[in-house]
């Protein structure tokens, strides 16, 4: 008989993130192969988990076509050498794809249906630009269900500025600059490297190389640099390339398990799932989505925002993160928030990013036994938000 179980984030790994486009390091690499590399790296690092005991493989992609089609969870599992008895499926919740993969696998484990699962995401935005192969239903606009601007993420970010005048361009620029500086400091300290899977890459001349680091970082960024950038989404606007996540290619994969499997295989969890929630908002201003999803997740966990000691917030746009911080009364430069930088510096391969947040939070938990709870949260296209609250197994304080 199935039993209710705790859900644990055992481990996570990812490929280095590359700039999308012909000049990016993954231009000659297939999307599914990126997911395969992340899967193989994760399974090799967790050899105590028998591959045949993986109950399911959930892999997300926003553009589920071409290399990102063919039921990714299943096809990647086969390509990664997992036993053919291991099933898999694909998920799409745009930017929160990998986060949804983890949440759904976590729910399956928590209800006792699964013991161990793989959950992740991949996005090759160079081969499959966002919205490039979609055909939005004309009713969206004809019946005024959704404003046309809702399908352009940059436009929705500009509208956050419109709604919240206190969110100035200067604040946004400073947040974007600090993301770059913090990410480079974390690289210099060797914090990212243990969880990166190296990927063999081939350039336009046919020469082979190795991708070992995130490609899009700009650590020398200054406020003056950002002030001079164009505003592509609106004349005299406030959203620039320096305060937006770049177009990115990459893949992430995580291993989640229940309490029984942790004991059976002698696993050492990096985090325990406390709660998760998804919420909808107006598509025209999708960036505020993590606010209601975080409120829901906190309520389900019986926690307050003050209980959260570390925040890993996806930086789709700087202003989107600032809107959440303002809502909860958190300072722009609060050291609990994205201490190793975020997507503005590292990149945002859409459906892969949720697990990147979890990988970073798990690594920070190991360094911070004084912190009990952490939050991973992100906005989602078409007006959604996703949040997952985690508990630190290394917490050294008094548990209530």
The average pLDDT across 169-194 equals 98
Find the catalytic residue in 124, 181, 327, 379: 379
Find the catalytic residue in 260, 327, 348, 394: 348
137 or 99: which carries more pLDDT confidence?
Answer: 99
Q: Say yes or no to pLDDT of 360 above 60.
A: yes
Residue that is written with structure tokens 């690594």 in the block: 363
The average pLDDT across 109-137 equals 93
Strands (E), the chain: 7-14, 18-19, 56-60, 88-91, 116-124, 199-202, 208-211, 248-258, 271-280, 308-313, 373-380, 384-391
- Residue-wise pLDDT for 178-188, tens only, equals 999 999 999 99
Confidence of residue 397 (pLDDT cuts 50, 70, 90): confident
pLDDT for position 152: 87
Report d(CA 360, CA 47) in Å as an integer.
22
Q: What is the mean pLDDT of the chain?
A: 96
Return the percentage of the chain with pLDDT > 70, whole number: 99
Q: Is 95 a catalytic residue?
A: yes
Q: Say yes or no to pLDDT of 132 above 90.
A: no
The average pLDDT across 76-102 equals 98
Report d(CA 330, CA 337) in Å as an integer.
9
pTM, 2 dp? 0.97
Q: Is 379 a catalytic residue?
A: yes
Q: Say yes or no to pLDDT of 400 above 60.
A: no
Q: Say yes or no to pLDDT of 133 above 80.
A: no
Tell me the C-alpha to C-alpha distance, in Å, between residue 222 and each of 130, 170, 180, 185, 186. 29, 12, 10, 15, 18
pLDDT for position 335: 98
Report d(CA 308, CA 310) in Å as an integer.
6
Report d(CA 279, CA 296) in Å as an integer.
8
Which run of H or E residues covers position 40?
Answer: helix 31-45
- Residue-wise pLDDT for 236-262, tens only, equals 999 999 999 999 999 999 999 999 999
């Amino acid at each position: 008989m199935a039993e209710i179980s705790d859900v644990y984030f055992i481990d996570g790994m990812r490929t280095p993130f590359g700039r999308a486009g012909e000049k990016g390091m993954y231009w000659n690499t297939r999307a599914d192969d990126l997911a395969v590399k992340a899967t193989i790296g994760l399974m090799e690092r967790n050899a105590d988990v028998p591959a045949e005991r993986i109950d399911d493989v959930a892999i997300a992609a926003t553009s589920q076509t071409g290399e990102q089609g063919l039921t990714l969870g299943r096809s990647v599992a086969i390509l990664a050498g997992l036993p053919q008895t291991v099933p898999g499926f694909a998920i799409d919740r745009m930017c929160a794809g990998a986060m949804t993969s983890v949440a759904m696998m976590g729910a399956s484990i928590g209800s006792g249906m699964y013991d161990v699962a793989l959950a992740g995401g991949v996005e090759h935005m160079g081969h499959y630009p966002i919205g490039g192969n979609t055909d939005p239903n004309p009713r969206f606009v004809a019946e005024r269900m959704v404003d046309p601007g809702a399908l352009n993420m940059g436009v929705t970010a500009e509208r956050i500025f419109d709604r919240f005048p206190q969110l100035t361009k200067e604040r946004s620029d400073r947040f974007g600059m600090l993301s770059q500086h913090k990410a480079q400091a974390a690289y210099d300290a060797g914090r990212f490297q243990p969880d990166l899977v190296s990927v063999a890459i081939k350039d336009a001349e046919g020469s082979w190389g190795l991708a070992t680091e995130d490609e899009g970082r700009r650590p020398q960024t200054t406020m003056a640099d950002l002030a001079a950038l164009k505003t592509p989404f609106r004349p005299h606007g406030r959203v620039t390339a320096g305060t937006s996540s770049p177009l990115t290619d990459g893949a992430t994969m995580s291993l989640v398990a229940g309490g029984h499997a942790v004991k059976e295989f002698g696993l050492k969890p990096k985090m325990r799932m406390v709660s998760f929630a998804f919420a909808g908002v107006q598509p025209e201003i999708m960036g505020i989505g993590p606010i209601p999803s975080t409120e829901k997740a906190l309520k389900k966990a019986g926690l307050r925002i003050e209980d959260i000691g570390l925040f890993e917030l996806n930086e789709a746009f700087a202003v989107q993160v600032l809107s959440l911080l303002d809502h909860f009364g958190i300072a722009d430069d609060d050291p609990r928030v994205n201490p190793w930088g975020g997507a503005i510096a590292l990149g945002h391969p859409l459906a892969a990013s949720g697990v990147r947040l979890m990988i970073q939070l798990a690594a920070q938990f190991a360094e911070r036994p004084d912190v009990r709870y952490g939050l991973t949260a992100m906005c989602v296209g078409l007006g959604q938000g996703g949040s997952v609250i985690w508990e630190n197994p290394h917490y050294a304080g008094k548990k209530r």
